[in-house]
Amino acid sequence: MMRWVSRAGTLAAMALLSACDPSTGAGGEGRPAARAPASRADATATPPFAEVYPGAVIEGTPTLAGGANGQGGMVTFTTSAGPQTVVDFYKARAGEAGLQSNMALNQGDAVAYGAIAANGAMVQVVAAPVEGGSTSVQLSWSAGS
């Protein structure tokens, strides 16, 4: 199951980073700019539909990028909330922000959800239970232009 979550998270990251505009950085003509890792504090600099789940513990270093669809990023965290509760949180936030659901997947205990808006704003979340009763979450987002 964790292999599925890892693959889904990788696909979400690839989709997010492929939408980034390489001309926004100093990477040179036709080459993407180097992306410095974001600090844990940067994970709170998200649009309301993609804020880190309340009480979650961020794992690793969040990644931020900018491009044609605005600022975006990816963060991994754990929470004591169940996978469906986490996904329902992001689904409600996306709806409040005017994003339209474009992806939903349940596989075993793992749950994934995605939503997008016409301006390029998007959110994707993959949540799966891990040993010890917590939930591992991979969240990616783009603020839109």
Cα distance between the two ends of the chain: 35
Give, in order, the Cα–Cα distances in Å from 26 to each of 10, 17, 141.
25, 16, 23
Binned at pLDDT 50, 70 and 90, residue 104 comes out as: very high
Q: What are phi and psi of 12, to 5 degrees?
A: -65, -40
Using DSSP bridges, classify how beta strands 100-107 and 135-142 pair: parallel, antiparallel or unpaired: unpaired
Task: Look up residue 108 and give its DSSP letter.
Answer: T
pLDDT exceeds 70 at position 126: yes
> What H or E segment, with its residue span, contains residue 78?
strand 70-79
Q: How confident is the model at residue 145 (pLDDT cuts 50, 70, 90)?
A: confident
Judge contact between 78 and 130, C-beta under 8 A: yes
Quote the number of domains for the chain.
1
Rg (CA), the chain: 15
Residue 9 in this model has a pLDDT that exceeds 70: no
Higher pLDDT, 19 or 144: 144
Is the pLDDT at 50 greater than 70? The verdict is yes
pLDDT at 45: 67
Range of the domain at 24: 2-142
- Name the pTM for this structure: 0.70
The three-state secondary structure class of 104 is strand
